[in-house]
Structure 1
């Protein structure tokens, strides 16, 4: 996203536009094709957040709370749903203590999972950042800070926490708070910190509280890229951290990596989305480590204002769901996927969630997002700080569905919309074309199935090798066998050679290695594609649909032979079918 001064200017321009229009009541956005409006047509909504109450009394357990910033009058509203996100009603309104040209934004909402200090499990904490419009050298603010409220009655009433969580310095801001609790039981606030300029453009920082957020320890950097010779306007500006703890105990953080100038002379990070992990929720590793770039098997990336969630189901690790404002890919001719300008992809932008079944390792795959926003404008500042901006995701208890809340500019305001959708693909063979030529890319390794030596003789091994668009050995075609089953033939083979399980018409035992064999239409060569996301499939053996095509887990060595094994939903068993041009 743009640097905070740019953001502030964009929001100010939007507010001025609203005033010039007299804040005329508008209908739901013409560019939101799926989603119900939450906030009123007269509001300027931003930075929505969602929480399901998991530590409440029997009456409130499972209810969903939302929070929204209203930039028009600098208030924060909380909302409640008693029907699992089908509808919401207003619960409370908070008025932050802004003065002059200060404004409150980038709020966050969090439920205590255990007693922290004197606050019992189920306590809610809501924090917001207060800064001046413009900020920095353009409009110094000696009183920038992040403040918080707590609620002991599930969001009905709120009490201000006496001391700020963090206080900025003259002219520099603190932004975008996010809470988590360490494995040892301490409350942590993560935030974007510009107070360390000019040494850094912006850092991701954190503080720890041992008394449930009443007092806080010193600021510690999480991501702080040292660039002593880089001009300030080109320095790294990581921001907008979001943290979730995974079932294996690991903590996962997603964040955007910008430069103070949104794209630094065509060589900046363009606000790409990165992740990093912590074993205990406090130690996040080397502050100079940029993190792991998020991308799909075919090179799609995310950019600007990420949020993440964890959903059960889909495999032993569940799934990580990740959304950001834009879906993009490196600009044409750019050979550095983690640097330089990005090209926004449509219609993927505004309609896509990324998913990962291996705790964030390997390639991600795409899902349809519940809220769909079309008509994206990534140039007009009124839109760039509104459309699909920092959209929270809240999976259902069983992980089969996800509630999304997003914002869109509808011509007179920025308004929040919400909808619920599936976290699975169609779970059938939809999308598989018998007229296409495919590469089969494994999500764990990002490498392709390959006929050894480009041979087609019976017994030719089917291996994993680095993808190469010039290698005919990596081209396969799908042939329908009826009933949702397909054979995958080596493109150009004559007689046709199919991916084959040795004696697979008799048994499909775990560990059997995959070969090519002259096509014979038996169950040894028939596979059922199960679409788990856009163009992402598990391939189940017809003889035993509990057996899936995979590359042995944990083995990344080139030349590893494909095999069948018990289906588990992990990345080694998910294949991206990329059409060859």
Structure 2
């Protein structure tokens, strides 16, 4: 039995792991359905997938589709039965699908489970999409009919296979089977999507109709996924391969589940406003959260920009829209399951394909896909996430918004996180930023380093859980980092090495102000009994370059911590001696909703009085992992409601330019008004002036 997943663990759980001897690629193409219309409890789910173990060591045995069942809404799973080819004796080899009838169809009652898949002999000479039925919830299966047959099971021009069955019931109560078809190349269709309709529950089928068919001799629509929407319409999601469309995902809608408009129309692309898009392996579902009519979610193999270059979020996102016509806008949302994608693992079977299934009475989402397990094989994993953490709908606004991260966000900050790595999302009210060329492996390596630094000695499993990086990849990254001398390993746990300490020391040595300020800050801290920090500006952030030893009762601050400069008292003190145009530019880059009038009033106060005092309640805004989050500083039980005083003075160079700031933070209880005016402020100002004089002397010594 598979184990339940930690809801915060985006690495998910293993549904099936191929044995060492199993042929490549091991397992892929998962599909799942909920049993909600028959006698089974609604928490009963079924899942299946292509399983290459069943084809034997040489791949010539008769393969079958294993059926897994969950009776706890997808938290744990166990092998339940096997769907076998009882018609041809070839084996069910590729592209299984599961579908529970929501109403009686032909002789079948509501709740009957239908399955379809591609029966293919070991020499791959034929393809046959066959339909099976189970009237006992997926334990016993009966052959019903062959929907369509095709030629050699090779996706190549000149061959004529049929692929990828998908089942639904149309608006008139007929069973419909969709599939990809390569039998019409002589008419200019390299591949097309078509369907056949059955009015008797799948025993007989009407002639084929075309749904997406582009007669240009090169475009290859395929992998249809059908979703019934709450509006009564049907959504078809598919991709178009070939040189013109490159695997881009498209959608069409239908009022009755059979008629999709002009078959030569490509449909509507599934892409963001700045043309980010999922490529290949499409799958869609509808969930009740997010918009007035819920949200449509689409999965794909990789996430790329308009030039087909991979973007850092690939393998971690779905695309979402709350518009039921599926015209968009489409927005990236964090997926329940994060994995190293095809581009990173160099294995095409990764995420081939993905299945999405609402869970938790519609409040959660299950995701199934094939992830790389090493030795050229993929395994089947599943992940689970709360929909409220993925999508949110502002019912007080006419605009619909979809969250970009698994946690609540400050919309104005335009940041989101993956593990401990920050990714900057695009503001919805601005033009897209310049294209980035992030090296994804470097992003992950530094993600691991930052997690190790924050967590302390930690094992591979915990690192995989915290970062969302697959364990097999974590091993590879850590082995490389250890070889280069940046991490150490003791008793199976990894820690950062002293080599990083050397880097930090070299960085500090480039800041004269830090060398000068250290003894001054230590002396001041001992005299006033408070923690004193030195702050500098870097890339629009206030960076705590140095902090004296923490004092009991003071809010926790660590050297290296960063805050957006506009929310830092020390940052504002520093900016009080920067040109107005430079400050404007920093604000524009950092955040777009600053109260400019009050902000510049603070800067003027700091410049005129040489000190800035901010007061706040004990609920402080702290910048952490890319988000503005509220963190309560409780000084003691009696002082839980004390106000926080933050006092800062600027440090200027010879040109009167702010280069740093000194900051003291403490509770109102510790820093009462009398002590502030008589003790803290004069000493802080005097220390700032002393540091400035030493800086000036050093500059004079350097330049004569």
Instruction: Give the TM-score band, short-chain normalised.
Output: 0.5 to 0.7
Aligned to 2:409: 428
Distance in 1 separating the partners of 2:276 and 2:627: 14
Instruction: Please say if 1:330 is aligned against 2:330.
Output: no
SS in structure 1 of the partner of residue 197 of structure 2: strand
> How far apart are 1:481 and its partner, in Å?
8.0
8 Å contact from structure 1 (residues 349, 376) kept in 2: no
Q: CA deviation at 1:114?
A: 0.3
User: Is residue 182–residue 192 contact of structure 2 (8 Å, CA) maintained in 1?
Assistant: yes
Q: In the TM superposition, what whole-angstrom CA distance separates every residue of 1:71-129 from its partner, at most 9, and x where no partner exists?
A: 23121011111111111011101222597987620110000010001101000100001
Aligned to 1:118: 107
Distance 1:517 1:291 in 2: 44
Do structure 1's residue 371 and structure 2's residue 337 form an aligned pair? yes
In the other structure, the counterpart of 2:266 is: 290
Structure of greater relative contact order (alpha carbons < 8 Å, 6+ residues apart): 1
Give the match for residue 210 of structure 1: 199
Find out whether 1:35 has 2:1 as its counterpart: no
Describe how 1:141-290 pairs up with structure 2 within 5 A. Answer: 141=125, 143-161=126-144, 163-169=145-151, 171-199=159-187, 200-227=189-216, 230=217, 235-259=218-242, 264=243, 268-290=244-266
- Alpha carbons of structure 1 residues 41 and 430: separation in structure 2 relative to 1, 3 Å: farther
Local SS of the residue matching 1:38: strand
TM-score relative to the length of structure 2: 0.53
Aligned length: 410
Question: How far is the alpha carbon of 1:437 from its aligned partner?
Answer: 11
Deviation at 1:428, TM superposition (A): 3.3
Deviations 1:515-551 (A, max 9, x none): 9997469xxxxxxxxxxxx9999xxxxxxxxxxxxxx
Residue matched to 2:320: 355
Shift of 1:66: 0.6
- Deviation for aligned residue 1:349: 1.8
The 2-side partners of 1:149 and 1:160 are apart by 4
Aligned pairs (5 A) from 1:475-514: none
CA distance in 2 between counterparts of 1:516 and 1:535 reads 17
Displacement of 1:297 in angstroms is 2.5
Deviation, structure 1 residue 286: 0.4
Distance 1:101 1:53 in 2: 29
Question: Could you tell me how far apart the structure 1 residues matched to 2:584 and 2:335 are?
Answer: 43
Partner Cα distance (1:431, 1:45) in 2 = 42
**In the superposition, relative to structure 1, how do residues 126 and 519 fare at CA in structure 2: closer, same or farther (>3 Å)?**
same
TM-superposed CA distance for 1:222, in Å, is 0.3
CA apart distance, 1:410:
1.4
Deviations 1:454-495 (A, max 9, x none): xxxxxxxxxxxxx4879xxxxxx999789xxxxxxxx97999
Q: Is the 8 A contact 2:32 2:46 kept in 1?
A: yes
SS at 1:54's partner residue?
coil
Q: Tell me if structure 2 keeps the 8 A contact 1:33–1:374.
A: no
Q: Secondary structure at the match of 1:198?
A: helix
Task: Measure the CA separation in 1 of the matches of 2:239 and 2:227.
Answer: 16
Cα pair 1:311 1:398 within 8 Å, conserved: no
Paired residue for 1:66, among 8, 30, 47?
A: 47
Candidates 284, 305, 319, aligned match of 2:281: 305
SS in 2 for 1:377: helix
Secondary structure at 1:69's aligned position in 2? Answer: strand
Which deviates more from structure 2 when the two are superposed, residues 182-191 or residues 36-45? 36-45
CA RMSD, aligned part only?
Answer: 3.7
Cα separation, 1, equivalents of 2:565 and 2:170: 51
Which of 38, 49, 52 is residue 56 of structure 1 equivalent to?
38
Aligned pairs (5 A) from 1:6-17: none
- From 411, 432, 437, give the equivalent of 2:374: 411
Are 2:74 and 2:359, in contact at CA under 8 Å, matched by a contact in 1?
A: no
Q: 1:134 to 1:421 in 2, by over 3 A?
A: farther
> Taking structure 1 as reference, are residues 495 and 432 closer, same or farther at Cα in structure 2, changes over 3 Å only?
closer
CA deviation digits over 1:35-81, x for unaligned, max 9? 21111331521211111111022x43331111122123121011111
Whether the 8 Å CA contact 2:32–2:357 is kept in 1: the answer is: yes
**Is structure 2 residue 292 aligned with structure 1 residue 316?**
yes
Higher strand share: 1
**1:294–1:364 Cα contact (<8 Å) kept:** yes
Q: Which runs of 5+ in 2 are unaligned?
A: 1-8, 56-62, 153-158, 391-402, 416-422, 435-540, 542-563, 569-579, 600-624, 629-704
Displacement of 1:398 in angstroms is 4.0
Distance 1:251 1:438, change over 3 A: closer
Cα distance in 2, alignment partners of residues 368 and 437 from structure 1: 14
Question: What is the alpha-carbon distance in structure 2 between the residues aligned to residue 188 and residue 387 of structure 1?
Answer: 29
Q: Secondary structure in 1 aligned to 2:354?
A: coil
Q: CA deviation at 1:289?
A: 0.3
Deviation at 1:430, TM superposition (A): 7.0
CA distance in 2, matches of 1:237, 1:437: 34
TM-score, length-scaled by structure 1:
0.63
Q: 2:164, 2:102 → 1: CA distance?
A: 21
Separation (CA, whole Å) in 2 of partners of 1:275 and 1:146: 24
Structure with the higher helix share, 1 or 2: 2
| 1:106 matched to 2:106 | no
